[in-house]
Chain A
Amino acid sequence: MTETPEELMATLTAEAAHLPTKTLFQLAWAGLRVRLARSLVTLLSVVLAIAYLSYSGVSNDLVQRLAASKSDEIYTLLRAAGIDVEATAKGSPLDRWLVAMALLTCTVGIANAMLMSVTERFREIGTMKCLGAENGTVVKLFLIESAMIGGAGSLMGIVVGLLICVIAGAAQFGRYSIEYLTFGSVMTYVGFAFVAGVVLCLIGAGYPALVASRMRPVEALRVEE
């Protein structure tokens, strides 16, 4: 039953003290649910940013395709909608500025929410480190939590963005808006928006996760309720 120090060291070097992904997800999900109100506000900021990103991407694409149609009828519609085809092709500076601001706000929002989550969970993180959780496990926990917000928020944002795009397109260009949208290009913009949403959330959570993992368990246990 009793192992020698050498045997013990061999076991310790061989094994990895990592929580299975399922447990990490369970913990992250529970963490989001407990702070429901704040999670929803954070989620909303991601939804808005990604909705705007996917809307502007897909609608610009539509305008380009319509402009390339060489049809007089479509040109009339474009002019009626007050769209400057040349300017849209370059992408207006205001649009780019607004998209960048929306994405920045969402990243800062995520960073802020995660930092608060880390501060509130000092004791919990310290306990897990006492039980033997390695720094990597703690980092993963917070990254998964924010990736969940990022993933869910991006999906919802894409749905919202596309809906607005389709409704506005139908109002301005009627059936052409559907005819000229190709599945492939929509998926490209949608995919880009999804990846951007998740990546921005991971960037926002990076620093808070690092703060959490570097915390020494003794300090965590000293924090009184």
Chain B
Amino acid sequence: MTGTSAEIVVDVRDVHREFRIGGEIVRALQGITLQVGRAEFVSIMGPSGSGKTTLFNMIGGLDAPTRGSVTLLGHPLGTLPSHIVARLRCRKIGYIFQSYNLIPVLTALDNVALPSLLLGRPQAEARSRAGAQLDRVGLGDRHHHRPDELSGGQQQRVAIARAFVNEPAIILADEPTGNLDLKTGEEIIRMLSVMSKEDNVTIISTTHDHKMLSVSDRVVWVVGGRIDRLVNREDLKIQVGSIT
């Protein structure tokens, strides 16, 4: 899958990002180059403050590099006006957050329907798509529950349904298991992995969770704003094997 992949979905080239905090310049990213192919599952690991969240935000077009370029599906994000980037995000990127980030006043069904409505799909179609995705994540009986009536694991499954509803090319997951217990976290990871293969969707996830490594095709370690190590699945198994 890696390297030889026919279609590059995410192309990050020599990306630098500097923040000015107070009088000081903080170099969050110092030359990151990374290509991710279609349907690949890539985990980004690194200590907090390593720049992995900054890199993650760059890929989603939520932040712009100081130097270098990020290209999504053949479109360099730096050259696009912000409303086109917003539409690109809506149509091609699904988001999963550590703290689920569901809209508290909407039911599960309406939450999942939201990205479809943003695309301008008719209400009936958006809701039927949303219903299908909720059934898929095993929440067929929870369509009309509001987020505060659902457990953490269930909320994250609603978020997964929401991320998949527009048939995106890429799903960006920011510490998706960070707020979940071991068992629930495992279920969420397995679900993500299975659904991404079914839908031919690329998953890029930041994580601290070693359970995540077993389903990843590649793991990128980011340290001090640079890629420290890049390990493919085959090599990863040997490593994990040698540890246990």
Set A31, A126, A132, A225: member contacting B118, Cβ < 8 A: A132
Are B87 and A15 touching (Cβ within 8 A)?
A: yes
User: Counting CB contacts under 8 A, is A87 at the interface?
Assistant: no
Q: In the complex, A26 Cα to B104 Cα: how many Å?
A: 13
User: Counting CB contacts under 8 A, is A80 at the interface?
Assistant: no
Are B74 and A131 touching (Cβ within 8 A)?
A: no
Are A17 and B123 touching (Cβ within 8 A)?
A: no
Report how many A-B pairs have Cβ atoms within 8 Å. 109
Which residues of A (119-136) have their CB < 8 Å from a CB of B? 123-124, 126-135
Shortest beta-carbon distance, B191 to chain A, in Å?
20
Are A134 and B86 touching (Cβ within 8 A)?
A: yes
User: Counting CB contacts under 8 A, is A37 at the interface?
Assistant: no
B99 / chain A contacts, CB cutoff of 8 Å: 225
User: Counting CB contacts under 8 A, is B91 at the interface?
Assistant: yes
Are A15 and B62 touching (Cβ within 8 A)?
A: no
Q: In the complex, A9 Cα to B74 Cα: how many Å?
A: 10
A4 / chain B contacts, CB cutoff of 8 Å: 74
Which of the listed residues B74, B103, B104 has the most CB atoms from chain A within 10 Å of its own CB? B103
Are A132 and B115 touching (Cβ within 8 A)?
A: yes
Q: In the complex, A8 Cα to B95 Cα: how many Å?
A: 20
User: Counting CB contacts under 8 A, is A12 at the interface?
Assistant: yes
A26 / chain B contacts, CB cutoff of 8 Å: 106, 110
B62 / chain A contacts, CB cutoff of 8 Å: 130, 216-218, 221
User: Counting CB contacts under 8 A, is B18 at the interface?
Assistant: no
User: Counting CB contacts under 8 A, is B63 at the interface?
Assistant: yes
A16 / chain B contacts, CB cutoff of 8 Å: 120
Are A9 and B87 touching (Cβ within 8 A)?
A: no
Q: Which 5 A-B pairs have the closest CB atoms?
A: A132-B90, A5-B74, A30-B105, A127-B101, A132-B89
Question: What is A's interface to B at a CB cutoff of 8 Å?
Answer: 1-2, 4-5, 8-9, 11-13, 15-20, 22-23, 26-27, 30-31, 33-34, 123-124, 126-135, 137, 216-218, 221, 225
